[in-house]
Structure 1
Amino acid sequence: MHDSTADALIVGAGPYGLSTAAHLGNLGLDVRVIGTPMEFWDTGMPRGMFLKSEPFASSLGAPVAGATFTDRHPGWRAGRPIPLRTFVEYGRWFAETHVPDTEDAQVVRVERDDRRDDYAVELSTGEVARARAVVLAIGVRAFAHTPAELAALPAELATHSVAHRDLSRFEGQDVAVIGAGQSALETAVLLADAGARPQVLARTQRLAWNAVPVPSPSLADRAVRGPHSGLGRGYRTWIWSEHPWATRLLPDGARRHLVRTTMGPAGAWWLRDRLDHRVHVMTGRVVTGAEEAGGKAVVATTGREGDRWEHKVDHVIAATGYIPDLDRIGILAPELRERVRLTHGSPVLGGYFDSSLPKLYFTGLAAAASFGPVMRFVHGADFTARRIAAHIAARAKSGSVSSKSSVTRADDARDAPPYAGTTPPG
């Protein structure tokens, strides 16, 4: 039981939460981290998965040297994919080393007390913790997007890819995987490895694959093609990856387009050879509906020429990404959600990831609408952590009681989702 009011309480112990906590602790602030380190990565990702990001871009953010992934694994060079288990172990080592006091509990509700200028946070233990600032580092689980066309299927016949850690349950079954990105393609391969009969239904006319990385490009090659960054290769990519603050300078529509089109659905280069004859791939198929028939799922698709197919399978897995939507963050009290200024379902953030509510911060995918596509990946954690920690520390020192966030008026439209098809950070 904690009797005092913490300087900050972080909801979530994934890469963004742990990184932010490490920076806050280094500044001497009293911080509480609620959550099991790397829990989502351990339970929300399938066994046998590899990270899509390169080793140098798979690090949590620490305020001291020696804590990157390649510091922990110096032999891991570009072009060698990282197994999920190795990354989870790295994240837990980071927690033990830099954030040793995480609390194995869940946040049930977050409320604000304007009179005290702090937050009351109810925990699953029954405690009501108090904190001057709250950082929502909740990851992507709450934002899992399943197309409306699958809504008629019961839960036992249709799930999102985030629901599956162990795909062996589908051994001997016909499984339709919806999507064309890394999540869909790797899920299909892992299903085949588990003895299932997967088929990929992709709306794209052909699958896209990421290029094989060049470990040591020449000076001329770097000059022409641009530098390497956490998001890939190229000058613009380098800006969005290494200087996310620049994204906030763009108009809202330009930011949405950037997030929607940067790092679109594609498979990792190392997965291409594993997507073999065991996986039936059908491109150019748009899912138009689905229904249950005789205990099976029947998925209707339409092709480019208007031809209609029905795919009868034992199960459907929607590997269709994540769409940020504040209303799906159920731990926020309704009155808090109403006070957070939004743009297309995402919070409008100031330069330090601060929302329109005093000292309420958002990280990861929820921050992509303000800081761009790098927020979809682990690589954005260090920049995020440094900005948030600096802001909270400055306010703790000054005793400021109100947010001075530089935010602009934003439309709360819920029209075409801008992030469909994105993959979890990493």
Structure 2
Amino acid sequence: MIRPVAVIGAGPFGLSTAAHLRARGLPVRVFGDPMVSWRAHMPEGMLLKSTPAASSLDCPQPGHTLADYCAAAGIRGLAGDEDVIPVETFIGYGEWFQRQLVPELERVRVVSVEPAGRDAGRGFELKLDSGESFVARAVVVATGLSGLAHLPAELAAAAEGGPEAEGPVSHSSWHHDLTRFAGGELIVVGAGQSALETAALAAEAGARVRVVARGRGRVAFGAPPWEQPRLRPESPFGRAWSLWALSYCPHPYRFLPEPTRHFLVRRVLGPLGAWWLRERFEAAVQVTDVERVLGAAAGDGGPVLTVRTHGGRTERLTADHVVAATGYRVDVAAMDFLGPSLRTHLATSRGAPRLGAGYVSSVPGLYFTGLPAASSYGPVMRFVCGTEFASPRLAGHLAGAHG
């Protein structure tokens, strides 16, 4: 019996990888709830920052782009760079892609992954929450943002137990329905698209919202497509030589010095609101620029956010709740489904797995794609369009290594 490849995760990178592996004739078992992060951890009413052209899941078969789905579903008006994609449309597209190309998806959770023998050369033993155990010859980790929400230390203490708790501070990914804040005072910490769109949606739902942005002048919005330079190459993220190189030539990225790679992942395509959000945001949300956030604590009437102003003063801001839109941080230690022996033997760089050619880790047969691959292959791995580079190369390497 030929042992299958196990793909853990059913978001864009997991589904795209599985489609490529199946097209090569490899036996594959795929585990997860399709598009769950988009369905459960993005705010209702959200619009994607990426353009329609940059929002398709890659696969070898023609006829499975976002445009193909929209045509099949009778959805019009998502053809040009000026069109924006409702999150509900993108979720529907991902679920349609899964039904078409990954029909054998198993909606169960992988509890643990361990080497099947003394080393990973004999494959990996997987245990499922259904009670089943089996051996896979290779494992692809494509778990997306799951478990990687980042709360800075100065805010984490007031979060009181994580997503299931009702503490005074929470992470933006813990909220799908922002109407819970209607009629109250809300502080959103952050300056990226997640912070600015969360703030705008909460304000439109009836909350009184203030964004606290760390660093002078940090709230900014991108230029609309018609104002971008015409003499530079196009990329999924805009017209610039650097963005073109990061989008279409990620392979040399892993040979850059480690500090440079991590710096670029943080800064390229960093905190910037979408051009179409500016008017809605500025009409409804107050902004306070601060030098830094010092901490948060529960007060008698709600949380108190302590900040240092650019003038050096310490101020305390009060609200009914604080939402930290502070992004995600890859940390292999947080992937508790990977057994202790695997995590011990994984080479990492600032918590992220070090990946070689074909997205393979330092443990033969163990692959990572999507956000955990960003420190090795660049910022494009944070976005759906990264499947175009990652998925065929990962599938090709795996097929060659196990052919």
TM-score, normalising length: structure 1: 0.88
The answer to whether structure 1 residue 125 and structure 2 residue 125 are counterparts is: no
Matched, 1:360 2:366: yes
Q: Quick one: which of 9, 14, 22 aligns to 2:11?
A: 14
Q: Is residue 194 from structure 1 mapped to residue 205 from structure 2 by the alignment?
A: yes
Structure 2 CA distance, aligned partners of 1:240 and 1:316? 34
Return the alpha-carbon distance in structure 1 between the equivalents of residues 249 and 70 of structure 2.
26
Matches within 5 A, 1:238-253: 238-253=244-259
Query: Quick one: which of 64, 69, 72 aligns to 1:72?
Result: 69
Counterpart in 2 of 1:180?
A: 191
Question: Which of the residues 88, 91, 96 maps onto 2:91?
Answer: 88
Cα deviation, residue 396, structure 1:
2.3
Q: Distance in 1 between matches of 2:110 and 2:2?
A: 16
Say which is worse superposed, 85-94 or 122-131, in terms of deviation. Answer: 122-131
Q: Distance in 2 between matches of 1:24 and 1:381?
A: 13
- The aligned counterpart of 2:170 is 159
| Secondary structure of residue in 2 paired with 1:301 | strand
Point out the more displaced range, 251-260 or 78-87: 251-260
Shift of 1:285: 4.5
Matched to 1:139, the amino acid is: G
What's the C-alpha RMSD, in Å, of the aligned pairs?
A: 1.5
Asked whether 1:107 is paired with 2:119, we answer no
**Counterpart position of 2:180:** 169
Cα distance in 2 for partners of 1:231, 1:280 equals 28
Q: Tell me if structure 2 keeps the 8 A contact 1:141–1:162.
A: no
How does 1:203-214 map onto structure 2 within 5 Å?
203-206=214-217, 207-214=219-226
The count of corresponding residues between Structure 1 and Structure 2 is 388
Q: Structure 1 counterpart of 2:108, which letter?
A: A
Q: Note the residue ranges of structure 1 that are not aligned, 5 or more in a row.
A: 398-426
Partner Cα separation in structure 1 for residue 294 and residue 147 of structure 2? 25
Matches of 2:378 and 2:129 in 1, distance apart?
33
Shift of 1:394: 1.2
Equivalent residue, structure 2, for 1:144 = 149
Deviation per residue, 1:252-277 (Å, 9 max, x gap) = 22212221220010100000000134
User: Is 1:24 aligned to residue 36 of structure 2?
Assistant: no
Q: Is the 8 A contact 2:290 2:307 kept in 1?
A: no
1:231–1:374 contact (8 Å) kept in structure 2? no
Structure 1: which amino acid aligns with 2:296? Answer: A
Q: Is the 8 A contact 2:264 2:379 kept in 1?
A: yes
Aligned partners of 1:346 and 1:369 also within 8 Å = yes
- Structure 1 runs of 4+ aligned residues shifted over 3 Å read none
Q: Report the Cα distance in structure 1 between the residues aligned to 2:15 and 2:284, rounded to whole angstroms.
A: 39
Name the CA distance, whole Å, in 2 between partners of 1:230 and 1:381: 12
Give the gaps of 5 or more residues in structure 2: 72-76
Q: Give the counterpart letter for 1:71 in structure 2.
A: D
CA 1:351–1:231 in structure 2 vs 1: closer, same or farther (change >3 Å)?
farther
Structure 1 residue 284: deviation in Å?
2.8
Identity %: 46
| Alpha-carbon distance in structure 1 between the residues aligned to 2:302 and 2:43 | 23
The one of 58, 83, 88 aligned to 1:61: 58
